[in-house]
Amino acid sequence: MPSPARDRALRRRHKKLLTHERDLWAGGCVWIAGLDEVGAGPLAGPLFAACVVLDPKRTDHLVGVNDSKQLTANMRNELDLQIRGNVLAFAIGECSVEEIDTINIRNAAFLGMQRALAAVEMELGTVHHLLVDAHKLDVDRAQTPLIKGDSLSLSIAAASIIAKVARDRVMNGFATTYPGYGFERHKGYATADHREALEKLGPCPIHRRSFEPVRTREAVASSAPSA
């Protein structure tokens, strides 16, 4: 249990994070979709995006939800369960490594979010407004792009947690499939130990060939004479 002072601070932040949603609810929007993606920066692994539609009657169950980068893994896992059990709808959209290498990471982020939105709308119908982290999607929906939206909107923060937890679990699985790279630790990001493993072992099937230094390491491996 948080201390009384911490609990008050969490509730103040919670109220602030609901500013955009409450304004939209007051204006007649019922289904407001928050969208965010994770995994744009790593050298390996897929990109995950999530779409979350809050339930206006159950937002009190989501006190503590925040930008996923500001939370520990245990906190994210606990909040992931809270979010899944207390929202009107949520969905995850994934873009594979092959898609990232083909259409580039920016377009992959848009595609992942569009897939997550489409899955939510298959359940609910057309949402009334989108709150999108930093971007505007090429879809015919009223929407508000918010820079650093995962620290400004509860819907976007919830989407960031759902996407982060799902992607981390996939990367933990890849750590078993492709041992030696440390995916369970860095989740594919370009840490020093990941770069060292890449240099030593070369790229594995989930490395993004369109990213440096993977591209250069792949070229070196391809040009090396056969034994």
User: Is the pLDDT at 1 greater than 60, yes or no?
Assistant: no
pLDDT digits (tens, 9 = 90+) for 53-62: 999 999 999 9
Q: For residue 224, is it within any domain?
A: no
What is the reported pTM? 0.94
Read off the amino acid at residue 13.
R
Q: Is the residue at 200 inside a domain?
A: no
Beta bridge partners of 199: none
Task: List the CATH number of the domain containing 119.
Answer: 3.30.420.10
CA–CA separation, 22 and 29 (whole Å): 9
Residue 49 domain boundaries: 4-176
List the one residue out of 30, 17, 34, 25 whose CA is nearest residue 117: 34
Burial class of residue 13 in the structure, from the number of CB atoms within 10 Å of its CB (0-12 exposed, 13-18 middle, 19+ buried): middle
CA–CA gap between residue 172 and residue 16 (Å, rounded):
34
Domain count for the chain = 1
Q: Does residue 103 form part of some domain?
A: yes
Q: Cα separation of 174 and 167, whole Å?
A: 11
pLDDT digits (tens, 9 = 90+) for 24-54: 999 999 999 999 999 999 999 999 999 999 9
Mapped to the 3 state alphabet, what secondary structure does 104-124 carry?
Answer: CHHHHHHHHHHHHHHHHHHHH
pLDDT digits (tens, 9 = 90+) for 177-222: 999 999 999 999 999 999 999 999 999 999 999 999 999 999 887 6
